[in-house]
Chain A
């Protein structure tokens, strides 16, 4: 593991320890039972520890570890997503195919670095095969709705998310062997932006961005969070092949995409009448609650870097 990787993880652990200590002191001094804001903060910090531990563990095993980690993230996200859709008995073969064939195939194609296929496998072949299989079963009730829901599920949970580990395969001149750090850069800025938006929103939030979708997303949180996360991204330029200015620009773009990812995820949840996607981390939300911003940021980040740097 390179010095930069070690430096990054020591820095992350430092941030988490600081956050845990602050939250611990606040919780200790606050009246019991804890107000919901503090409860939520503690839950988020705990989720963060688990995430950092999981990602660090995967990094120990290199590209293979990160691919397996994200294949699992895709599996868990897809499971949460499908649970909220209205499936019918005739969808079983399509659903089984989504979990048993699409997820492993997509990640295998990234593993063997077959860009020409992994970038179209889902939007061309799967998108045509899935409605065909569903139609073969003969149940036409709400057909269009069911097919679109399934297609969007694999698009979000598998296709988009798989672009995070796919960053390793980008042949950026001068960046050989440092692909994992590019992944770390993307995850750190996007997830950092989530946290910073939350903090800025709690401190200064007044004007809601989309009151009918999410009461917690405010313009103050959005602007403050994205601006500070972009600065943080610029400061992390040493992880990447980019200059500080380029790193800041890419971070800003990823954070804006991440914001839209969170907004769309909230709209879906609101439509289905649930607060969280699932209960992966101790009843404090599911995998997609943490991954929704990466879903939107990863493919855009991937393609811009691929276009401009390779």
Chain B
């Protein structure tokens, strides 16, 4: 992935943003951070394929055009259609989740994208959350990124309702109102170990969830 978006990606990003707004009326709620043009890793809860589209819709067009979503290569590289969508239409950084068969180190792939100036959309749970729990345990990726690139802001983003709009296996979205709440950036403290940091980041994300969520699966 190069540092800038192709024309096709810019157009499809705008079209998706218009569609996402038409279906979900999504609005960004900036609660602790504001758009500042700096390089960022947006880390969010994940329960729907629509999540990163919703999140990208909330970004300014210039930020959107340099933001890529970290997605599973096993899913998005299988088949021509998915490959076309993930490589040409959307801006993605594909990482291989399978430890045994993988050919490229996922960490290195993400760091390359960051070094090329990209902002990343990252789902630290590692997979879509299909449980009744609001948020799964975080995998180590977020901590490794924080250690490797301390200059990049880690912004927690709570995505509300998208799992009801487009749950796993669904093709057509049900129109429901969605919001994305952007919280204050989380920074790695000196001497903080992996577990402490991941739990703190998880709590920072959870604290953005509305207390009374209409979401009942």
- Residues of chain A touching chain B, judged by Cβ–Cβ distance below 8 Å, are 75-76, 78-80, 82-89, 92, 95-96, 99-100, 272-274, 278-280, 283, 286
Closest residue on chain A to residue B169 by CB atoms? A89
CB-CB under 8 A from B176, the residues of chain A are 79, 82-83
Flag if B174 contacts A280 (CB, 8 Å): no
> Are B216 and A278 in touch, CB under 8 angstroms?
no
Tell me the smallest distance from the CB of A52 to a CB of chain B, in Å.
21
The smallest beta-carbon distance between B215 and chain A, in angstroms, is 9
Chain B nearest CB, measured from A290 CB (Å): 15
Most chain A Cβ neighbours within 10 Å, of B161, B164, B175: B175
B217–A279 touching, CB < 8 Å: no
Q: How far is the CA of A25 from the CA of B135 in the complex (A)?
A: 49
18 contacts between A and B (CB under 8 A): A75-B175, A79-B25, A79-B175, A79-B177, A82-B176, A83-B176, A86-B216, A87-B164, A87-B216, A89-B167, A89-B217, A92-B174, A99-B174, A272-B214, A278-B25, A279-B27, A280-B25, A283-B27
| A residues near B175, Cβ cutoff 8 Å | 75, 78-79, 82, 99
Quick one: closest A residue to B23, CB to CB? A79
* 6 closest A-B pairs by CB: A83-B177, A86-B216, A95-B174, A79-B175, A83-B176, A273-B212
Write out the residue numbers on chain A whose beta carbons fall within 8 Å of the beta carbon of B25. Answer: 76, 79, 278-280
Q: Are A96 and B177 in contact (CB under 8 A)?
A: no
In whole angstroms, what is the CA distance A89 to B48 when docked?
A: 13
A13 to B25: give the CA distance in the assembly, Å.
Answer: 28
Chain B interface, number of residues (Cβ within 8 angstroms): 16
Q: Mark B37-62, 1 if CB is under 8 A from A, else 0.
A: 00000000000000000000000000
Give B138-181 as 1s and 0s: 1 = Cβ < 8 Å from A's Cβ atoms.
Answer: 00000000000000000000000100100100101011110100
Chain B residues with Cβ below 8 Å from A272 are 212, 214
- Complex CA gap A274/B212 in Å reads 9
A76, A78, A79, A80: residue with the most chain B Cβ atoms closer than 10 Å: A79
Residues of B within 8 A of A83 (CB): 161, 176-177, 214
| Complex CA–CA separation, A293 to B167 (angstroms) | 34
Distance in Å: Cβ of B129 to nearest Cβ of chain A: 14
Chain A min CB distance to B138 (Å): 26
- Complex CA distance for A96 and B38, rounded to whole angstroms: 40
Residue numbers in A under 8 Å from B167 (CB-CB): 89, 92
Contact B27 A96 (CB under 8 A): no
Complex interface: chain A residues within 8 A of B179 (CB): 279
Name the one of A86, A96, A278 contacting B174, with C-beta atoms under 8 angstroms: A96
Is the Cβ of A278 less than 8 Å from the Cβ of B214? no
Contact A84 B214 (CB under 8 A): yes
Q: Within the assembled complex, what's the spacing in Å between the Cα atoms of A100 and B179?
A: 23
How near does chain A come to B217, taking the closest CB pair, in angstroms? 6
* CB-contact partner of A88 in B172, B177, B216, under 8 A: B216
* Chain B residues with CB below 8 A from A280, complex form: 25
Whole-angstrom distance between the Cβ of B168 and the nearest chain A Cβ: 9
Query: A78 to chain B: which residues have CB within 8 Å?
Result: 175
In the bound complex, what is the Cα–Cα distance between A99 and B174 (angstroms)?
A: 8
